[in-house]
Structures are given as C-alpha cells and as structure tokens.
Structure 1
C-alpha cells in the first residue's frame, strides 16, 4: 500500500549499534534496521531514516552511513538529523557533522574533509568557493 501511494517509510535508530546496548535489554537495533530494510525492499517502498539519540561522534555517523547504503537498491532515500542543539557546534562535534553530511551527499565516497577552508579556519564550509565566485560575478555586473 505504501509503495502504491508513493509513501516513504521513515524509521529511527539508524545510528545505534548492537554492541552499545545493555546486555539485559536483549535487543538488536542493527537487526531491527535490517528487518525494516528487507521489508521495505520486499514491499518496493522507499525507506528514510533518522537518529534516535543525541550522538555527535564519528562512530554514530559511520553507522548511519553504513545503514544508508545498499548494494541491493534499498538504501535510505533521505535522512533526518534529530537532536540539533548547542552541543552540535562545540569542539569536534561540528567537524564530525560536516564530515558526515559530506559523506552522505557523496554516497560515502569521501572519507575525510580538507584541513581548512579558504580562510584557513579548522572548519570546512563547502559553499565558500561557490559563494566567492557568485560575489565576483555580481560585482562584475554592477
């Protein structure tokens, strides 16, 4: 029914790993995500994902990248990043997010960002070059 109506099934816990769960919980978020991926593939429905927890480390982002890809054609159609707050912009958290977004947009092919942007800061902002070119074009038109 979902595939027939173009509905995208959005599922959570894409960043969670089995080994991070308490043993007494007897749960498998990775197994659950795989079951959902299989079910959406079988139903020919698109799958989108989101994170369940407030996580900023490279391990959580790597897990999302891993679950977002698929050789059998049922990777994630979209990803919603939840829990954005002030902590996201502190220390290495920002660099991890930028690296994650870049990897998602490039299908996970690029593993590391440049060490600096055009101003030499330690944060990379991918649109700086394009923005500078646009400003030069605008200045030439005026």
Structure 2
C-alpha cells in the first residue's frame, strides 16, 4: 500500500550503534534499521531517517552516513536532524554538522572539509528582527 500511494516511510535511530547500547537492554538498533531498510526496499517504498538522540559528535554522523551507504536496503531519501539547540553551535559540534550536511548533499560520500572551509562556512546563522517579535534564532543551510 505504501508503494501504491508513494509513501516515504520515516524511521528513527539512524545514528545509534549496537556497541553503544547497555548490555542489559539486549537490543540492536543497527539490526532494526537493516530490517526496516530491507522491508522498504522489498515494498518498493522510500525510506527517510532521523536521529533519536541529542548527539553532535562525528561518530553519530558517521553512523548515519554508513546507514545511507549500506547494501542492506535502499538509500535514505531524506534525513531529519532533530534536537537542534544552542549546543549545536558550541565547540566542534557545528563543524561536525557542516561536514555531515556537505557529505549528505554530495550523495553520501564521507569526506572531511578542506582547511579553508574548516575556518569559515557558507552556512548562515542570524536573527530575525521584527517589531512584534522577540529575538528568534534562525539557521539556514545553504
């Protein structure tokens, strides 16, 4: 039915790894994602993903990239980044996001930013100014 109506199935936990789960949980987020990917491929429907946890590290982004590249099913049609907040702009968190967005926009190729891009990005962060609105943060990925 999903395929018939062009539905894209959106699934979570794309950044989670089996080895990061507590032993007593007896779970496999990587295995679950593989099963979902295979099911959506069999059903001939698209698969979109999202993160489940508030993570800003390169390891989490790397896992999403690996999931997108894996041979166990179709590639992701889209990725929704959840839990954006001010921590995203602290330390190397922003650089990790920029690298991730760049890699995803280039078809999932995993690569580091060049030195010149590492110190400045074309991603814009600013504020919306309006008389009736208090300062509201805005982020635009260009």
Give the TM-score normalised by the residue count of structure 1. Answer: 0.81
> Measured at CA, do residues 25 and 73 of structure 1 come closer, stay the same or move farther in structure 2, by a change above 3 Å?
closer
Matched, 1:123 2:120: yes
Number of residue pairs the alignment of both structures matches = 124
> Measured at CA, do residues 88 and 31 of structure 1 come closer, stay the same or move farther in structure 2, by a change above 3 Å?
same
Counterpart of 2:56? 56
Give structure 2 stretches of 5+ with no counterpart. Answer: 125-142
Give structure 1 stretches of 5+ with no counterpart. Answer: 128-142
Q: Is the 8 A contact 1:8 1:45 kept in 2?
A: yes
Q: Is the 8 A contact 1:115 1:124 kept in 2?
A: no
Counterpart-to-counterpart distance in 1, 2:123 and 2:83: 23
Asked which structure has the greater CA Rg, the reply is: 1
Q: Is the 8 A contact 1:54 1:83 kept in 2?
A: yes
Q: How does 1:1-142 map to 2 (within 5 A)?
A: 1-71=1-71, 74-117=74-117, 122-125=119-122
Q: Is the 8 A contact 1:95 1:123 kept in 2?
A: no
> Which structure carries more strand by proportion?
2
Give the TM-score normalised by the residue count of structure 2. Answer: 0.81
Counterpart of 1:137? none
| Over 3 Å off, 4+ runs | 70-73
